[in-house]
């Protein structure tokens, strides 16, 4: 099996300059150890001692503190103790007052595993017959972390009442990804609270073409900032217009992020029933009523690139199906 580890590492690096600039500005890059493996840590009577830092090249020690910590986390995972790796990273975050996107942690663990895999390859070339298996296991570890840590832009679309917000929230609950909802952004741009009543006829007031354009531009601007910071984003909007879908695709390409499109789908009767119940409850940011929902359903352009998520089934099954796609 071929693992394009370098490809995924470089893809992450190309789109995340603001993240690394912020790490540098926060003082997270310093003269560290550079080769922090379990073999280099000794538990003595007066506490742990860390030995054998890189001394032959000062530049190899200068790195993000998280990269140093991730080196030991990688080695603990290699030794079969991913539970201790997780505990170590969590304790470090608290002790150092540090916070980072999950994608950066996966990137550093993968990079360190790739480094050790290269060392194992060199040793195999020098006659160590056991090194090939170690190299293979380390590359597989790197690949798994890179795949998990991909930065993703997920469009969650569909006509009103098809369960977009339910799906977006469900994915976020399992992944901790950022959710940006067009209904909320639209109200914010108008200086209104999220649940304030802004009901208007379709194509008028807050739902006029110019205001909808402002809303989608703000949606994509906010998503871009998050993606460049290493955060995967769920954009909850109708995405009925192919033009905005293309703009989202351009954003994903420009930030070296993976684009995933989900089209939520439910029979018209089910969707309209949900819209009617929501309108009467008045506890949601959406202002769509059944008349508006019916028109928007008719206007919804075909979306051949999207994966269809059936939301007429149970909530748990719908979210599970969506998670299967994004993962």
Question: Which runs of E-coded beta strand occur in 85-238?
Answer: 152-157, 178-181, 233-236
Q: State the Cα–Cα distance between residues 58 and 33, nearest whole angstrom.
A: 10
CA-based end-to-end distance of the chain: 20
User: Region 206-233: what's the mean pLDDT?
Assistant: 95
Q: Which of 95, 112, 94 lies closest to 104, judged by CA?
A: 112
Q: What is the pLDDT of residues 133-152, one digit of tens each?
A: 999 999 999 999 999 999 99
Q: State the Cα–Cα distance between residues 153 and 145, nearest whole angstrom.
A: 18
Q: What is the pLDDT of residues 27-53, one digit of tens each?
A: 999 988 888 889 999 999 999 898 888
Residue 220 has pLDDT above 80, yes or no: yes
Which residue ranges form the domains of the chain, and what is each CATH number?
5-148 (no CATH), 152-326 (3.40.50.300)
Q: State the Cα–Cα distance between residues 271 and 265, nearest whole angstrom.
A: 9
Q: What is the pLDDT of residues 84-131, one digit of tens each?
A: 999 999 999 999 999 999 999 999 999 999 999 999 999 999 999 999
pLDDT of residue 200: 67
Q: What is the pLDDT of residues 4-32, one digit of tens each?
A: 888 999 999 999 999 999 999 999 999 88
Greatest CA span in the chain, whole angstroms?
76
What's the pTM value of the predicted model, to 2 decimals? 0.90
Q: Which of 43, 39, 96, 47 lies closest to 67, judged by CA?
A: 96
């Amino acid at each position: 099996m071929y693992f394009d580890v370098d490809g995924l590492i470089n893809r992450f690096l190309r789109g995340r300059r603001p993240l690394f600039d912020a790490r540098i500005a926060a003082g997270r890059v310093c003269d560290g150890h550079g080769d922090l493996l379990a073999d280099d840590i000794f538990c003595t009577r007066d506490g742990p001692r860390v030995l054998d830092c890189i001394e032959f090249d000062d530049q190899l020690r200068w790195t993000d503190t998280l990269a140093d910590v991730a080196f030991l986390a990688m080695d603990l995972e290699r030794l079969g103790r991913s539970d201790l790796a997780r505990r170590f990273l969590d304790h470090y975050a608290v002790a150092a007052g540090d916070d980072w996107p999950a994608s950066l942690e996966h990137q550093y663990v993968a990079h360190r595993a790739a480094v050790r895999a290269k060392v194992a390859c060199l040793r195999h070339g020098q006659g160590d017959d056991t090194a090939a298996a170690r190299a293979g296991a380390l590359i597989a570890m790197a690949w798994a972390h890179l795949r998990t840590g991909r930065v993703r832009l997920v469009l969650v679309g569909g006509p009103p009442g098809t369960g977009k917000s339910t799906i977006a929230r469900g994915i976020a609950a399992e992944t901790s990804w950022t959710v940006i909802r067009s209904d909320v952004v639209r109200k914010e741009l108008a200086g209104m609270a999220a649940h304030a009543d802004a009901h208007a006829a379709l194509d008028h007031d807050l739902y006029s073409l110019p205001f909808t354009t402002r809303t989608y531009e703000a949606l994509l601007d906010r998503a871009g900032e998050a993606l460049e910071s290493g955060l995967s984003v769920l954009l909850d909007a109708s995405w009925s217009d192919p033009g905005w879908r293309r703009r989202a695709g351009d954003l994903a390409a420009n930030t070296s992020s993976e684009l995933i499109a989900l089209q939520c789908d439910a029979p018209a009767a089910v969707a309209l029933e949900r819209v009617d119940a929501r309108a009467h409850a008045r506890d949601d940011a959406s202002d769509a009523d059944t008349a508006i929902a019916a028109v928007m359903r008719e206007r919804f352009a075909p979306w051949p690139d999207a994966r269809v998520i059936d939301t007429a089934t149970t909530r748990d099954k719908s979210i599970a199906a969506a998670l299967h796609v994004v993962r």
